[in-house]
Amino acid sequence: MRKRRILCLVIIACSIIMMLSGCNTQNGGKQEKLKVGFIYIGTAGDAGYTQAHDKGRLYAQEKLGDKVELIYQENVSDTDDSCVPVIHSMIEQGCKVIFTNSYGYMDYTYDMAQEYPDVTFLHCSGSKSSDNMLNYFGRIYQARYLAGIVAGMKTETNKIGYVGAHPIPEVIRGINAFTLGVRSVNPDAVVEVVWTSTWYDPALEKSAAVSLLDKDCDVIAQHQDTTGPQTAAAERGKWCIGYNFDTRDVTPDSYMTAPIWNWGPYYADQIQKVLDGTWKSENYWGGMEDDIVQLAPLTKNAPEGAQAKVDEMKEKIISGEFKIFEGPIKDQNGEIRVPAGTVMTDEELLGFSWFVEGVNGVIPEN
């Protein structure tokens, strides 16, 4: 018995030493640097949503150099209040600016903004703002429209599969823009949608794509944060379109392009404004004209002529000559929902709850 007790004590002692040696003591240091905290829903290396944000953070760090210190915390859940202690601790460490990058952080970020009026908060993809908190997002649907053009020109079966995450306006808007892009070059093609009800489950999202491939789809697009659907397409020798991040190396013989984020310039700009003291709480929904969303460079798998068509439409979107959600737009039943000559307002886009003609799928009621 005694031996065992000694053994236990040794183990406990060892683990305490390990824990202590794990702590780093880099507190203190220079005060003049502006400290900025980023809170991420996923991992910085997920080749997806969070990595796109982290790339933006690294860009801003490089751009602003010694004037700022940009720290981050990854894997913070947004389905509960996990972000609150993280925000507290970042502010305790001296952060004057906090970025929170997922929808579910919205209410907590708002509460924190009330509690710390001298800290600047920037929340991604939400709808709340105050004097010291703004919300920002990008019109990724513009890039999805262009991706739709590529898919529409590529498909031979005229069936394109789309693996959707959750049936919320953001995803529905993306599917609709994609479908309009597809039909602009290939009016016979349809977009088959399945929902996974997950953002992040590599195996399940692959299964969803497999079910679409079994239904004869030969191009797979996705609104997911993993490369699961792309892998499924590659294994069948079919084609795929990614999301968030340029993932050409994962499935080099199948990947064509992806709607991707480019947060860097916006992050650098906002932090610079805080440095200058000119920051104002202005909500932001930037598009291709600001270069905040892009279509990743087309690969050799993309169809011939797609590059020219994409470039042409990209120009028109940037110049404002072409609006994606301009009527006439029909819904799935063939009824005109947006009459000719009208453009859907941002409010309508933010509350999208119906599919355009050409989508094969159902929006589940919640």
Q: Provide the binding-site residues for other proteins, judged by CB under 8 A.
A: 4, 8, 42-43, 45-47, 75, 192-198, 200-204, 206-208, 210-212, 214-215, 226-228, 231, 249-250, 360-365
Which helix or strand (DSSP H or E) is residue 175 part of?
A: helix 169-185
| Nearest approach, Cβ of residue 232 and other proteins (Å) | 10
Distance between CA atoms of 91 and 96, rounded to whole angstroms? Answer: 7
In three-state form (DSSP H/G/I as H, E/B as E, the rest C), the secondary structure along 83-98 is HHHHHHHHHHCCEEEE
Contacts with 231 (C-beta within 8 Å, 6 or more apart), sequence order: 206, 250, 251
Q: Measuring CA to CA, which residue among 292, 351, 289, 323 is closest to residue 180? A: 323
Which residue number, 202 or 286, has a Cβ lying nearer to other proteins?
A: 202
Name the minimum Å distance from CB 47 to other proteins: 5
Q: How far is the CB of 165 from other proteins (least distance, A)?
A: 10
The pair phi, psi for residue 86, each rounded to 5°, is: -65, -45
CB of 122 to other proteins, least distance (A): 25
Of the candidates 307, 289, 287, the one whose C-alpha atom is nearest the C-alpha of residue 298 is: 307
The minimum distance between CB 173 and other proteins, in angstroms, equals: 18
Cβ 75 to other proteins shortest distance, Å: 7
Cα–Cα distance measured from residue 120 to residue 248, given in angstroms and rounded to the nearest whole number: 36
Which segments of 205-316 are extended strands (E)? 219-222, 239-241, 255-257, 259-261, 284-286, 293-295
Residue 4 CB, shortest distance to other proteins, in Å, is 7
Taking the complex as a whole, how short is the minimal distance between the CB of residue 301 and other proteins, in angstroms?
Answer: 16
For other proteins, give the closer residue by CB, 195 or 352.
195
Residue 228 or 287 with smaller CB distance to other proteins: 228
337 neighbors 314 (Cβ within 8 angstroms)? no
Rounded to whole angstroms, how far apart are CA atoms 66 and 78? 31
Nearer to other proteins, 17 or 362 (CB): 362
Q: Which is nearer to other proteins, 21 or 278 (CB)?
A: 21
Of residues 60, 22, 117, the one with CA closest to residue 270:
60
Tokens 């990614």 identify what position?
242
Q: Which is nearer to other proteins, 211 or 281 (CB)?
A: 211
Residue nearer to other proteins on the CB measure, 181 or 361: 361
Name the minimum Å distance from CB 93 to other proteins.
Answer: 22
In angstroms, how far apart are the furthest CA atoms of the chain? 87
Give the nearer residue to other proteins in terms of CB position, either 44 or 274: 44
Residue 280 in tokens: 């104002």
Between 83 and 271, name the residue whose CB sits nearer to other proteins.
Answer: 83
Determine the Cα angle at 58 with ends 113 and 262, to 5°.
Answer: 80
Structure tokens at 289: 């004209």
